[in-house]
Amino acid sequence: MIMALDCVADEAGPATAPAVEAELLFVDRPTEKPYAWGGEPPPGVPALSGVFTRHRVRLENVRPIADRLSLDVEGVAVVRHESAVEDFWDEAQTLALGHPEVAELVTEVTGASRVVVFDHTIRRRADDASGPVPGSARPPASRIHVDQTVWSGPNRVREVMGRQADGLLARRAAIINVWRPIAYAARDWPLALGDASSIAPDDLIATDLLFAHRKGEIYNLAFNPGQRWLHVPDLGPDEAILLKCWDSDPNVARFVPHCAFEDPTTPPGTPPRQSIEFRTIAFFD
Q: Give whole-number Cα distances, 187 to 19, 58, 82, 236, 258, in Å.
A: 14, 17, 19, 9, 16
Q: What is the pTM of this model?
A: 0.92
103: left (phi over 0), alpha (psi -120 to 50) or beta: alpha
Q: Based on the structure, what is the number of domains in the chain?
A: 1
The Cβ of residue 278 has, within 10 Å, a number of other Cβ atoms equal to 24
**Predicted local distance difference test score (pLDDT) of residue 56:** 98
User: Can you give the CATH number for the domain in which 268 is found?
Assistant: 2.60.120
**Predicted local distance difference test score (pLDDT) of residue 126:** 80
Q: What is the pLDDT along the chain (285 residues), one digit of tens a residue?
A: 454 444 444 444 445 789 999 999 999 999 999 999 988 899 999 999 999 999 999 999 999 999 999 999 999 999 999 999 999 999 999 999 999 999 999 999 999 999 999 999 999 998 655 555 556 688 999 999 999 999 999 999 999 999 999 999 999 999 999 999 999 999 999 999 999 999 999 999 999 999 988 899 999 999 999 999 999 999 999 999 999 999 999 999 999 999 999 999 999 999 999 999 999 999 999
Reduced to 3 states, what is the DSSP secondary structure of residue 150?
coil
**Predicted local distance difference test score (pLDDT) of residue 128:** 52
Residue 133 is part of which domain span?
Answer: 2-11+19-283
Give the full edge-to-edge strand order of the sheet including 76-81: 2-3, 76-81, 239-247, 173-181, 274-283, 114-124
Compute, in degrees rounded to 10, the torsion defined by CA atoms 278, 281, 282, 284.
Answer: 180
**Predicted local distance difference test score (pLDDT) of residue 10:** 42
